[in-house]
A and B are shown apart, each in its own frame.
Chain A
Amino acid sequence: MPDVTFTVDGKKLTAPAGTLLIDACRKAGIEIPAFCYYPGLSLQAACRMCVVRQEKVPKLQTACTTTVAEGQVFITESPEIAQARKATIELLLGNHPLDCPVCDAGGECELQDMTFKYGAGESHYVEVKHHRDEQQWSPAVFYDRPRCILCYRCIRMCGEGMDVWALGIHNRGANSVIVPNDHQQLDCEQCGMCIDVCPVGALTSGSYRYKTRPWEMSHVSTVCTHCADGCKVTLGVRSTNDGAEIVRADNRDKSGINNDFLCAKGRFGFDFVESPDRLTQPLVRNAAGKLEPATWEHALRVAAAKLKEIRDARGGAAIGVIGSDRTTNEENYLLQKFARTVLQTNNIDHERTTDYAAFAHALAGTAGKTASLRDISSACAILLVGGNPTEEHPLLAWLLRTNVRLNRARLYIANSKPIKLDRQAKATQELPPDGFKSLAAFLDQGTSDFSKSLQAEESLVVLFGEEFRGEAVENLVAWGLKRGNVRFAYLGDHSNSRGAADMGLFPDLLPGYVPIEAPGAFAEYPNRPAAPGKTLPQMLEAASNGELGALLVVGANPVSRAKLDHAALKNTFIIVQDLFLTETAALADVVLPAASLYEKSGTVTNTYGDIQMVRKAADRAGVKPDFEILVRLAGAMGVDVSTLVPFGKRGTTGDLGQSRGAQAGEADRHAVWLEANNLEPKLSPFDPLALLDEIERLVPGYTLDRINLFAGNDVHTKLEATPGFVPVQALSNPDLIVPAHDTLFTSGTLGQYSTALKQLTQHQAKELAETAAD
């Protein structure tokens, strides 16, 4: 659309013809009030708050439906307009409870703000207000009808945004009421988006309501710890006696790739942090064979002594290390560095949910072939093969729907089973369950309508899931590279599975998928053992056979998934860093209570290769971030920790202060003061960002745009493009991949400690049973 020039309140503005006046004004800093307008959702023109005067038009016009054209003249603030808005608010307030002090939305209510602005302070109505009792629609959603102003945002968000259509409107006129789909109960994806968009206190969240006043919270912007999409999430935190607790999760500032989107896990599943099952004291197995509480010093001393003893006596090969899909990049990097340089072992692995190694191998030597989430939300054509994003990648599903809805993107789906996203698809292709391997050949035949339309696409983003491993990944990528103008994304499972792989939690691959045998690779690692180590199953097997002296498990629960004789592990000294006494931790000799992702800083990489900052939001007495635990463990082993973490060096630009979340700025101010006094701005060895320089220097693809990263934006890795990149030599074993298949309300071991997610699971199971009974 060509740009047009028009006048608003005497100012000349320019915008593409057809832009909505309300958007054009907002861009120019002219705020037009609105209840029903919500960017990206269908237009309603129902609330009449956005009325403006347009020259030569007799009636006031709604800015939310007026499109701009050349030469138009508008006035957006005048006594007439203010009066119209005031009268509308007065009408709303006529029935609206005026108990803002006890309303959950008090302080962040758009109606309250508007009333303040337009001064509808006087009531013209003496009649009794409608009263209705509040309803609970699900564990997550409550509805207070009298507070509802019928802006229809919730209905549209649920329908257009989520494609769930669980909210409706019944009756008409003043009896109109928002209703859930199953007789006063919500049968839906429980994403809570409706609560988020409600401008008033009509829809409230089961987990947050009446817990706090909004102004008592600090807001910390970090990354969700659940699935591999990596939604940016703003945590509302409040101080408690023993730290800081999270009371709410949303992303109302719409920063980040997910805009305002969060799924049920991101919005409600943070409560594992507060679980009474949280470990808050180290545990050491006593002479009687029982785990008993210990001090950090004691526990670390016991663990360090044992590791040292075994390394020195039996060599590093007698020690195994299992890392995490949920810890930060810095922690994973440190863990493998610790394993390789301190423990002198290549026995390091993680629970692989996706074959990222094969993906990296397939892409080796190419440039710009991986798709970030941002690419997906703007791509003209997308091919999705396998997987069910609605369940396993809710943000991806949201972005696909939004892209189709708002930009008319063309979505092609090839799958062995129908999925919900088929509704947005331009074309679907059913594949036999074993049809993924031969997909490339099928697409090349070009006989079906599906492959014909695909071939006609100028550019394509290809999304694929764990159905592809090893050679199948190679084939698919090769097909795309041959076709040209294709970018890929590989769908994995946990919040930092990609980071675990990128950071080299492999027995045969160093960070950046650099083969362990590559000559000269990571030369600065002292005493790095040369031969590949054991994979996770091999380590467990070795442990069962009594061949492994010690096993260090960080944030993983391999015992829950492996078929193992627990008794057989008794000869292995097991150290576990975790939040909970998991199945694995229960077998350990030393258990070190770890901080969750919401209690530390660092970076994580989502499955698309987008890196984001994690910031400390909550705090819990007694626990430590895995980073600090590892540094202390190394220290206790007598290692000079500065060989592990280059702290205190001038020129380390790691921490600009933002990483401390609630304490943001403190370190910044401190550093400024130090520099001003000609002193070195030193970083502590426990500051994970002290490792960022090294990661940037040594890990191919991790050259980071720090300004953007620290500003809270997502930064795409350039894995394939890095000049220093060395192709992977050997294909990894596809059988090592065990997908998690987490669904909307499950999140591995972590999810089992979330009361909210458990309640939602039960609620939806009940809904399902009822539907089946009908």
Chain B
Amino acid sequence: MPRLVSHPDEIKLVSRRFGMGATNIDRYLELGGYEAVKKCLAQGPEWIVEEMKASGLRGRGGAGFSAGMKWSFVPKQSAKPKYILVNGDESEPGTCKDHLIFLHDPHAVIEGTIIAGLAVGAKMGFIYLRGEYRYLLEIMERAVADAYDRGYLGKNIFGSGNEFQIITQTGAGAYEVGEESALMESLEGKRGVPRIKPPFPAVVGLYGGPTVINNAETIATVPQVITMGAQAYAALGTPRNGGTRLFCISGHVERPGVYELPMGYNLKKMIYEVAGGIRGGRKLKAVVPGGSSTPVLLPEEIDIGMDFDQVGKAGSMLGSGGVVVIDDQTCIVEFALRTISFYAHESCGWCIPCREGTDWLKKSLTRFHAGFGTDADIGNMQYLAENMLGRTFCPLGDAAAMPTIAFLKKFRKEFEDHLNGTPCPFAREGVPQLTVV
């Protein structure tokens, strides 16, 4: 069972029921559950969308797009059925927050999905969990069944005359399926290859119908926004970055864990106070602030507020909220290699720059880390990554290119130290050096 943590600076909204047995529907009700959806039924769709816009809630899946805005793009009239699709594919390395939501508060996801459905006029929602989350899928399935039993889902939810169905779905191992259009493809039983945009999902999505796709945390936040009111929620964060979010602090900190902190919370404080500082009193070397696709920050760059705009200004991204802390005993070349290996493994292979680019970066870094690098390699890798950037079919190519460029730029010296057959200065006991076959 994943360990829960807490810290006084936390403002627990999404995580308020963690560890409180809220998987049980009665317990969820005791803890104020399904009140938000009743409020929404009373207030109507326009009100919900306006509340969501005013809340400043930005998508927690990575791109940080305003949830209210996204919902407002769905056409009122549609010949085809509309759908809500909850993205629980959670695969960006460094990210494990949706994991806890499904584990501790499945009904919050259901409630948020119903509200999204009411807001845009959808009668069906899908909750898609990555295949590895089988035990969480079982929890979700049970929760959905309970909600049906109580009449919270079905043909006549809460006796309101509205229909809403939820179907849970499992993936089978594919990071790219987290990309919204690839997610729809996967849900339609196809290869996880993204779709050409436009049209955007809000207009032509799942089975050709208008579809709202939101991250599981975004959806689980919705009832909180409704309950406490958009203004109060927005006020917790910074301008244009409403509320709180779940930060997943991992790597070389004393107290790794998922902490719910207000948007704009200082990164340095997050590492040194909330997460207890660097493990074993070592020194900080670098921080990946928002999941493995976001460019690395140096220790001198981390005195920033963790919201989409400030992290962006610092040259990186808030992404999925996965803060990965790296200490000074870590080989950045190896870290870069592991990062790139991931994207090479997960590239769907559709477009040339990503398919070939990630593969070549991985090969080059493998050889480089093994001590067979040359002067030209550094420039070549930089050239390659720069030529992938912005040229791929979907953002996965960027997700591989951006961190690569940052590693090469910010840690060039360390790359140079690997040249000329020098063994990796950080080679660890018991772990054989990767060799080139």
Contact = CB atoms under 8 A, between A and B. Distances in A.
> Are chains A and B touching in the complex at the 8 Å CB cutoff?
yes
7 contacts: A45-B393, A49-B352, A94-B356, A127-B364, A127-B367, A172-B191, A174-B347
Contacts of A43: 196
Nearest to A96: B356
Interface stretch (A83-91, A382-390, A396-404): A83-91
A98 B363 CA distance: 19
B349 A149 contact: no
Contacts of B345: 173
A149 B356 CA distance: 10
Interface in B343-367: 344-353, 355-360, 363-364, 367
A124 interface: yes
A542 interface: no
Contacts of A158: none
A184 interface: no
A110 to B, nearest CB: 13
Contacts of A174: 344, 347, 349, 355-356, 358-359
Given A43-B196, A84-B387, A127-B364, A172 B349 contact: yes
A60 B351 contact: no
Contacts of A91: 352-353, 356-357, 360, 384
Given A91-B360, A173-B346, A173-B358, A48 B196 contact: no
Given A45-B196, A88-B353, A124 B344 contact: no
Contacts, number: 97
B383 A46 contact: no
Contacts of B355: 150, 173-174, 176
A51 interface: yes
Contacts of A44: 196, 350
What size tier do the contact residues of chain A reach?
20 to 34
B392 A48 contact: yes
The 9 closest A-B pairs by CB, nearest first: A87-B387, A91-B356, A176-B349, A174-B359, A173-B347, A173-B349, A127-B363, A124-B380, A172-B349
A125 B359 CA distance: 11
A47 interface: yes
A84 B391 contact: yes
A132 interface: no
B390 interface: yes
Contacts of A83: 387
Interface residues of B, number: 33
A667 interface: no
A46 B351 contact: yes
Contacts of A127: 360, 363-364, 367
A92 interface: yes
A47 B384 contact: no
A45 to B, nearest CB: 5
A677 interface: no
Interface in A62-116: 65, 83-84, 87-88, 91-92, 94-95
Contacts of B349: 150, 171-176
Contacts of B357: 91
Contacts of B176: 172
Given A47-B352, A91-B353, A173 B359 contact: yes
A169 interface: yes
A105 B380 CA distance: 30
Contacts of A84: 387, 391
Interface string A164-205: 000001011111100000000000000000000000000000
Interface in A118-166: 124-127, 149-150
Given A48-B392, A124-B383, A125-B360, A87 B367 contact: no
A174 B357 CA distance: 9
A176 B192 CA distance: 13
Contacts of A149: 352
A59 interface: yes
Interface string B178-208: 0000000000000110001000000000000
